[in-house]
Amino acid sequence: MVKIQVKNITKIFGPRSAEMLSKVKAGMGKEELLAETGHTLGLDNVSLSIGKGEIFVIMGLSGSGKSTMIRHFNRLIDPTDGQIIVDGTDVMSLNRKELEDFRRHKMSMVFQRFGLLPHRTVVQNVAYGLEVQGVKRDQRETKAREWIEAVGLAGFEDQYPSQLSGGMQQRVGLARALATDADVLLMDEAFSALDPLIRSQMQDQLVELQEKLHKTIVFITHDLDEALRIGDKIAILKDGKLSQVGTPPEILLQPADDYVRAFVRDVNRARVLTVDTVMQPPEWRITHDNMERALADMRRKGEEFGYVVENKEFRGVVTQEALEEEIAKPGDNPSLYEFADDSGSVDLESTIEEALPATLESDYPVPVVDESGHFKGVLSNEEVGSILTPPEEEVAEGDATEKDGSASGADAEEKKTSGESVKRAS
Amino acid sequence: MDSVLFPDIGRPIRVATNNFVDYLVINYGDGFEAFSNFILFFLVQLERFLRSADPVVVLLCVALLTYAASRRIGLTIGMVVAMWLVGALGLWEQAMQTIAIMLVSVALSVMIGIPAGVLASRSERFRAGLNPVLDLMQTIPSFVYLIPAAMLFGLGKVPAILATVIYAAPPLIRLTDLGIRMVDSEVVEASRAFGATRWQVLKGVQIPLALPSIMQGVNQTMMMALAMVVIASMIGARGVGETVLLGLQRNDSGQGLVGGIAIVILAILFDRITQSAGQRMQAYRKVNG
């Protein structure tokens, strides 16, 4: 379900921005516009569609227009042209009173340098949004205390912001934003000013809170690792233009242009990609517990090994060699379900990094199972290897991400043209 | 002296101004007098109160005020001694008159200066228009506007107060404007993002965060108001300024010095009290964990 729809937003900074719009629409670029007219093109015809309950990350370097973008959602900045529709309401059509109401109840915001009121205590800061709404003092402070506890700052209620560390100050900022119960949370480089360790703690905390709250979060960052870590979807901005929108694996595996490609090159892909985006469907499986039949099947197909599955549930792997040995032994054959080796499987949700040791140790593609023990696919060394190689800039689109011929050239071409339409490999 | 190079525009200006002042006096004299009486009412009340109060009570008030503002015993004692010195110089009555005039002037300056400063911080256009006016207010010799003011309001305290306000309000306006502009834009943005109205932003964020600067402005206004007391006494305002003026007229250096010392003491007194109050208002800036 779409929560926020951004339609063809263009923002030009300068005294005669409205007149410049036609020039931009005629195709004048950012540099040309600046050189000729002294106007800065902040955003150039950006359209986005943000789903309810999503963490939507807008990523770009400084000057890419990402901070300008996020300020359009609650109209801290007015666009030169375009529409923003939140829950079916065109934000542009709101008058001042309605806009204040909209900001009070629909959206709240977390700032890069926290934006806390230095002359107020933590609890007064967290209660600020409610105070603006006109909520009574004891009511709003009770609520503020709940949120302070939820972000792990209990005991610091009566301190001033300057007494807290950066990470704690940003928790106050987060609690303040959450206290108004707005559906949409705007986070403008919220964690960029923090130490790396604190930053990753805050990222975890955000993801954890999100699992409970199911807000729609628009998150701005210049850090691709952060974007990949927390984002359900990522939009990449360059010079006010949208380069690509997609899920983290799509951004990593099918970068739309050289700009995105340059970005993803330095990313630790093994830590970002999960097994389910890389694994292949199993070519065949053994779905009974008869050893001799299994061995016969293997010989006929020329397979060295097979994956044993009982009612979709994964029971283990057997090799031809092991079967031959076991059958040659005197006495009854044991059940194949019991005999199969189920020690070397990897979890569907784990990252490539976590799955790597099991993959390297194994002589055959490692079986992949989901939470309920169902057999989902296999992961081979070759696939892992090809995924960890960053895409080459010289190589034509899509080739570098092609694996085992499963993505044909035409397929990859299509993915390139419509990055949004690609679903996760699972 | 006729000159081709310099056409005489001085005379028309002079004549036009005089006519305009006459016109005001004749047609709106009552209005000006009503305004004058209005200010005079507050001034007289305050002055009567200060002069009728037992000096011991006034000294006690100085002690309480200083301590409330600074929480420092040493400063409190110092200020009481300074105030006692004014009495010992034989200028207690005059000092009370001066304080009354100064307080009314400062109150008027604050009432005009803070709103003007707020407006200037919001509108570049207003600020651009206001700036030359402030420059003019600070540089034009007081006598230039004292002449029409004396005609409109009569000699005495009211034109003195007006002259003081004109001279003393500009720093407050400028410092209010600067203080509000210096408030962290992200904090203001945060406040707006939560749906605060302009008034809520002003009252809850901009004014409190600009307060150190505004207090500095009030302090400066007080100092400049005290600097005006001698000039004010020339158009009939009583007080310590009159003592200095009399010293000048009678060629009595000693009296001039005694009056001067009293003015300096009053200046120090008000400066220290407002400075400490300003510092205590921003105590949150000092706490560092």
Q: Are residues A267 and A297 in the same domain?
A: no
* Assigned domain for A304 exists: yes
A301-339 in b/e form (b: 16+ CB < 10 A) is eeeebbbbbbeeebbbbbbbebbeeeeeeeeeeeebbeb
Q: What confidence score (pLDDT) does residue A418 get?
A: 41
* Assigned domain for A179 exists: yes
What residues are paired with A86 via a beta bridge?
Answer: A4, A89
Cα–Cα distance, B136 to B141 (Å, whole number): 9
pLDDT tops 80 at residue A377: yes
Cα–Cα distance, A159 to A143 (Å, whole number): 17
Task: Give the mean pLDDT of chain B.
Answer: 89
Domain coverage including residue A129? 2-272
In the structure, what pLDDT confidence band is assigned to residue A396 with cuts at 50, 70 and 90?
A: very low
Q: Are residues A20 and A60 in the same domain?
A: yes
Domain harbouring A301, CATH code = 3.10.580.10
Domain harbouring A218, CATH code = 3.40.50.300
In the structure, what pLDDT confidence band is assigned to residue A210 with cuts at 50, 70 and 90?
A: very high
Check CB contact under 8 Å for A163 and B287: yes
pLDDT tops 70 at residue B124: yes
Angle, helices A320-328/A291-301, rounded to nearest 10 degrees: 140
* Assigned domain for B91 exists: yes
Q: Are residues A240 and A312 in the same domain?
A: no
Interface-testing mutation among B189, B194, B287, with chain A (most A C-beta atoms within 10 A): B194
* Assigned domain for A400 exists: no
A129 lies within 8 A of chain B by CB: yes
H or E stretch covering A367: strand A366-369
Q: Are residues A211 and A302 in the same domain?
A: no
Q: Are residues A283 and A266 in the same domain?
A: no
Among B114, B108, B133, B229, which Cα is nearest to B179's? Answer: B114
Q: Kindly state the tokens that stand for A222.
A: 């210049």
Domain harbouring B88, CATH code = 1.10.3720.10
- B156 versus A219: which is more confidently predicted? A219
Residue with tokens 């005495």: B156
Check CB contact under 8 Å for A115 and B200: no
Q: What confidence score (pLDDT) does residue A252 get?
A: 87
Q: Report the amino acid identity of residue A240.
A: G
Residues B184, B170 contacting (CB under 8 angstroms): no
Q: Which residue of B189, B205, B289 is in closest CB contact with A117?
A: B205
* Assigned domain for B18 exists: no
Q: Are residues A157 and A132 in the same domain?
A: yes
pLDDT tops 50 at residue A402: no
Q: What confidence score (pLDDT) does residue B285 get?
A: 62
In the structure, what pLDDT confidence band is assigned to residue B179 with cuts at 50, 70 and 90?
A: very high
Q: Are residues A268 and A325 in the same domain?
A: no
Lowest mean pLDDT among A134-143, A162-171, A284-293: A284-293
Lowest mean pLDDT among B92-101, B113-122, B230-239: B230-239
Cβ contacts of B288 on chain A, cutoff 8 Å:
162-163
Cβ contacts of B193 on chain A, cutoff 8 Å:
74, 76, 103, 107-109, 186
Cα–Cα distance, A295 to A125 (Å, whole number): 71
* Assigned domain for B32 exists: no
Residues comprising chain B, all counted: 289
> How large is the C-alpha radius of gyration of chain A?
27
In whole angstroms, what separates CA A142 from the centre of its chain?
Answer: 34
For A132, nearest residue in chain B (alpha carbons): B196
* Assigned domain for B1 exists: no
pLDDT tops 80 at residue B196: yes
Residues B76, B63 contacting (CB under 8 angstroms): yes
Q: Are residues A253 and A338 in the same domain?
A: no
In the structure, what pLDDT confidence band is assigned to residue A185 with cuts at 50, 70 and 90?
A: very high
Q: Kindly state the tokens that stand for A294.
A: 């299994």
* Assigned domain for B36 exists: no
> Measured between alpha carbons, how far is residue B9 from residues B14, B22, B145, B189 in Å?
9, 20, 20, 52
Among A100, A105, A67, A81, which Cα is nearest to A6's? Answer: A81
Among A255, A272, A289, give the residue marking a domain's end: A272
Where does A161-270 show beta strands of DSSP type E? 184-188, 216-221, 233-238, 241-246
Q: Are residues A179 and A264 in the same domain?
A: yes
Q: What confidence score (pLDDT) does residue A101 get?
A: 93
- Over range B279-287, report the average pLDDT: 67
Cα–Cα distance, A19 to A24 (Å, whole number): 10
In the structure, what pLDDT confidence band is assigned to residue A105 with cuts at 50, 70 and 90?
A: very high
In the structure, what pLDDT confidence band is assigned to residue B286 with cuts at 50, 70 and 90?
A: low
In the structure, what pLDDT confidence band is assigned to residue A341 with cuts at 50, 70 and 90?
A: confident
* Assigned domain for B25 exists: no
Check CB contact under 8 Å for B195 and A109: no
DSSP string, B139-170: HS-HHHHHHHHHHHH-SSHHHHHHHHHHHHHH
Domain coverage including residue B148? 43-281
Check CB contact under 8 Å for B191 and A180: no
Q: What confidence score (pLDDT) does residue B283 get?
A: 64
Among B191, B190, B174, which Cα is nearest to B118's? Answer: B174
For the stretch A41-85, pLDDT in tens is 889 899 999 999 999 999 988 888 899 999 999 999 999 999 999
DSSP state of A1: -
ipTM of the complex: 0.78
Q: Are residues A220 and A286 in the same domain?
A: no
For the stretch B2-52, pLDDT in tens is 677 888 888 999 999 999 988 988 888 888 888 888 888 988 899 899 888
Domain count, chain A: 2
Among A216, A251, A272, give the residue marking a domain's end: A272
Q: Report the amino acid identity of residue B166.
A: I
Q: Are residues A346 and A219 in the same domain?
A: no
- Over range B49-56, report the average pLDDT: 90
For the stretch B126-171, pLDDT in tens is 999 999 999 998 888 888 888 888 888 878 888 888 889 999 999 9
Cβ contacts of B187 on chain A, cutoff 8 Å:
115-118
Q: What confidence score (pLDDT) does residue A25 get?
A: 85
B207 lies within 8 A of chain A by CB: no
* Assigned domain for A147 exists: yes
Q: What confidence score (pLDDT) does residue A360 get?
A: 83
Q: Kindly state the tokens that stand for B152.
A: 């409109």
| Other Cβ atoms closer than 10 A to A56 | 21
Q: Kindly state the tokens that stand for A362.
A: 């194994």
* Assigned domain for A311 exists: yes
Q: What confidence score (pLDDT) does residue A392 get?
A: 63
> How large is the C-alpha radius of gyration of chain B?
22
In the structure, what pLDDT confidence band is assigned to residue A393 with cuts at 50, 70 and 90?
A: low
Domain count, chain B: 1
State residue A90 phi and psi, 5-degree precision: -80, 110
Check CB contact under 8 Å for A109 and B194: yes
* Assigned domain for A225 exists: yes
Taking the CA of residue A101 and the nearest CA in chain B, the distance in Å comes to 6
Residues A152, A101 contacting (CB under 8 angstroms): no
* Assigned domain for B181 exists: yes
* Assigned domain for A398 exists: no
Q: How far apart are the first and last CA of chain A?
A: 21
Lowest mean pLDDT among A33-37, A151-155, A403-407, B74-78: A403-407
For the stretch B230-258, pLDDT in tens is 888 888 888 888 999 999 899 999 999 99
Cα–Cα distance, A77 to A9 (Å, whole number): 12
- Is A285 in a helix, a strand, or coil? coil
Q: Kindly state the tokens that stand for B239.
A: 């007080």
What residues are paired with A347 via a beta bridge?
Answer: A369
Q: Kindly state the tokens that stand for B95.
A: 């000092």
Q: Are residues A246 and A112 in the same domain?
A: yes
The structure's pTM equals 0.77
Contacts of residue A218, Cβ cutoff 8 Å, sequence gap at least 6: A4, A50, A56, A58, A70, A73, A184, A185, A186, A187
DSSP state of A274: B
Q: What confidence score (pLDDT) does residue B284 get?
A: 65
Q: Which residue of B190, B200, B285 is in closest CB contact with A111?
A: B190
Cα–Cα distance, A294 to A287 (Å, whole number): 9
